[in-house]
Chain A
Amino acid sequence: MMKRDRHWLLEIVFLIVLVIAGQSVDFSLELLLRRGVRFFDIASAMVPPDASYAAVVVRPLWATIQMSLIGTVAGAAMGMAGALFADSYVNACGWLRIPFKGVVNLIRTIPALILALICTFLVGLGALAGTIAITLYTFVVMTRMGYEDMENTPLATATALEVTGCGRFRAFARTVLPTMLPSYLTNVLYLLEANVRHAAILGYVGAGGIGILLNERIAWREYSQVGMILLMLYGVVILAEGSSEVLRRVLDGTYRLRRSQAVLLFVIIAALVMSSVGTLQWPDRGGSGFAAAASIADGLIHPDWSMILSTAHDGVPYLLYETFCIALLGTVGGTAIAAWFSFTASFRLLPWPLALVSRLFLMLVRTIPVFVYGLMCIRVTGPGPFAGVLTLTLCSVGLLAKRFLLAIDDIDLAPFQAYRAMGTPYIACLRYALWPQLYSRFAAAILYRMDVNLRDAAILGLVGAGGIGTPLILAMMHYSWAEAGALLWGLVVMVAGLEMISEGIRKSRRRDEYRD
């Protein structure tokens, strides 16, 4: 009884928070209805795409794919080593392991775009900076996922081998590694898809790939050429998702490769990666990279405390609050849209042609880079945080719908049918037979997306859509490292803090499940 009452209270509090957040970001339904059509201004200018422009796009697009490919492969390999180093069974030195985990999790809170921007200061403009950023990003994400998988794998078998006198590392390599490797590689494939999309943005800060071209064409308002770029990017995303789907089948064992096929696959991947490495140009900037590194480090060590403590609208606390509001409302909006599309895109619930249409639409929604959405939304609302909310709403749809869809595909329909057979009303069946199965997975997806949105909110600054991103990127571009340090620390602390809270919620929920 007590517990139910508290739930009810929580919902009220959540609604109040939403309303306050809405006020803070100048949310206005009236504006949305009045000017909503302007959203399609840019979209309609992109149609028809300028087909003759394709020839120009091919090279930078290929460079983008190469960047994400090397970055993912190198980052995944390093991530495995990192995960081993962070594992308490393999590495018994806690004083090495725990600081390492701390650094990995700190870097994880920094958006990939900001990493890329930092890299451009260190190694100069170009694809190398982007590649390093993607590698670093993949490394920290995979290290984290890897050591979590390792910690969740039982050690009984490893211990059984260890006592045959072969040492811990050998025992670990033959027991825990084969158990966790398939899920590790599956995560790498997911990350590869995400990295292709990330790589397309990095050009915005001069870190190579298609983004440079995209940025330039948008600045010139050549929207039919922008349309062509996005169309080709859409093709690449479909290709990437298709091939990673095939590889996932191989990993989970539904599709078995013959030895010759496996060798062929390995050779193809190796050749792609090698050829990509060959195209990278190494910097010859002498000592300037080190000088930049020194000033960045100095800014991080001595952040501008007056900004951190200021309560004005350009102080760190207010900017963080605004970013949080944007991310929260964006997540809520995205959840609403994604919930609808995940049901209409499920092959289990709808006839396949209808579901396929929804799926292709979802993929299209996911292809369009964040800042293109940003520009489209700014047409509606003008620069400011409300544009950021709309942008993140649209960006959240892709990932949330995909996770929701996976959850829907996994549900067990037997209880639903049993309730129907008992003559229970349809809505009640949904509520009591299906919703309990979906609830926790939906919640996990939403929490995860909230975490991503906090970081993505920093990207919105690029197009002037509010939040901490605008001042952060401006400060970095002007080499004001003390300011940038203050803003970056603020972002890191907020993302890390919210992650700890969501982790805490997840753990307490898990305990509740056990107790029930």
Chain B
Amino acid sequence: MLELKHVYQQYNKTPVLTDITLQVPKGQFVSIIGPSGAGKTTLLRLFNYMVRPTQGEVWVAGQRLDTLMGRKRRCSQRRVGMIFQDFCLVEESTCLQNVLNGSLADMPIWRVLTGSFPKTKQAQALQALDQVGLADKAYCQARSLSGGQKQRVAIARTLMQNADVVLADEPVASLDPVTARQILGLLRKLQQEKNLTIVMNSHHVEQAKEFSDRIIGLKAGKIMADHPAQDWQPKELDALYRGEQHDET
């Protein structure tokens, strides 16, 4: 489903990713862990063209994303949803409007400007909100929600998008532990129901172990280790995070 082939990425001549090659099969929940500055966010953003690789190939659902242009690229991007640490909702709009924003790509421009979406889309958006357990909040302003509820709206937006890949960039980093577990549980449940492919960045090893199928350890722009979640040993984790302690002192 997702594939990187010998990808290099630089930012202002500083290498961020070095020779990354990996494959994610359909329906897998992958977590990427590693110290801050390892390049986790950059890696994730390759898959929806928020970041272009300096070198190498990015494949999404059988299409090479980094060389596609215009309409074809947007078609590929539509299959990939993303949720963010800071939610990225329109705080002034209602939850329903925010969820409907997931379907902008196939709306005519006058509907986008007036905000009058067809009945079928509205019903679909309400259903998506229902799936994340927020049906009763549909007409509340996003501003008035708690962090966990906001992230649920963001998840509903990716459902609305009919994405079959979801990228999650530290989705629970700004939430309290209980809410965090609820959100990850929801992601896991939806992933299994809809056979979604999920790639999640995390700095919380225990959460990654509990909710994902496979964990990739990233350090200084290179893949350190790549195992099924339950196979990770404390020694490897130590090795992954050891350098960071060193740098900070």
Contact A178 B89 (CB under 8 A): no
B84, A161: Cβ atoms under 8 Å?
A: no
Instruction: Encode B90-103 as 1/0 by CB contact (under 8 A) with A.
Output: 11110001000110
Identify the stretch in A63-71, A168-176, A305-313 within 8 Å (CB) of chain B at 4 or more residues.
A168-176
Contacts of B81 in A (CB 8 A): 164
Interface of A is mostly: helix
Residue-wise interface mask of B (34-47) relative to A, using a CB-CB cutoff of 8 A (1 in contact, 0 not) = 00000000000000
Contact A160 B107 (CB under 8 A): no
Nearest residue, chain B, Cβ from A175: B90
Instruction: Name the distance in Å between A328's Cβ and chain B's nearest Cβ.
Output: 41
The answer to whether B90 and A165 touch across the interface, beta carbons within 8 angstroms, is no
Q: B113 to A166, Cβ gap below 8 A?
A: no
Q: Is B244 an interface residue (CB 8 A)?
A: no
Residues in A whose Cβ lies below 8 Å from that of B84: 156, 160
Would you call A164 and B104 a contact (CB within 8 A)?
yes
Candidates B90, B91, B105, B109; contact of A164 at CB < 8 Å:
B105
Judge if A508 is at the interface, Cβ distance under 8 Å.
Answer: no
Q: Does B178 reach chain A (CB closer than 8 Å)? A: no
Q: How far is the CA of A148 from the CA of B3 in the complex (A)?
A: 41
Tell me if A165 and B76 are in contact (CB < 8 A): yes
Residues in A with CB closer than 8 Å to B101 are 161, 174-175
**Is the C-beta of A243 less than 8 angstroms from some C-beta in chain B?**
no
Closest-by-CB residue of A relative to B77 is A165
Q: Which of B49, B77, B88, B112 contacts A157 (CB 8 A)?
A: B88
A166 CA / B97 CA spacing, docked (Å): 16
Cα distance A157–B76 when bound, in Å?
Answer: 20
With A170-B109, A174-B101 known as contacts, the answer to whether A164 contacts B92 (CB < 8 A) is no
CA–CA, A171 and B88, complex, Å: 12
Q: Are B77 and A161 in contact (CB under 8 A)?
A: no
- Size bin of chain A's contact surface: 10 to 19
Say yes or no: B104 contacts A163, CB within 8 Å. Answer: no
**Shortest distance between the CB of A409 and any CB in chain B (Å):** 23
A160 partner residues in chain B, CB cutoff 8 A = 82, 84, 88
* Interface of chain B residues 52 through 105 with chain A (CB within 8 A): 73-78, 80-82, 84, 86, 88-93, 97, 101-102, 104-105
Q: Which of B108-126 contact A (CB under 8 A)?
A: 109, 112-113, 115
Complex Cα distance, B100 from A164, in Å, reads 12
Taking a contact as CB atoms under 8 Å apart, the answer to whether B73 and A163 are in contact is: no
Known A-B contacts A160-B82, A170-B107; the reply to A165 vs B75 at CB < 8 A is yes
Distance, CA A166 to CA B111, complexed state (A): 13
* Cβ contact within 8 Å between A165 and B107: no
Q: Which positions in B face A, CB cutoff 8 Å? A: 48-50, 73-78, 80-82, 84, 86, 88-93, 97, 101-102, 104-105, 107, 109, 112-113, 115, 161, 163
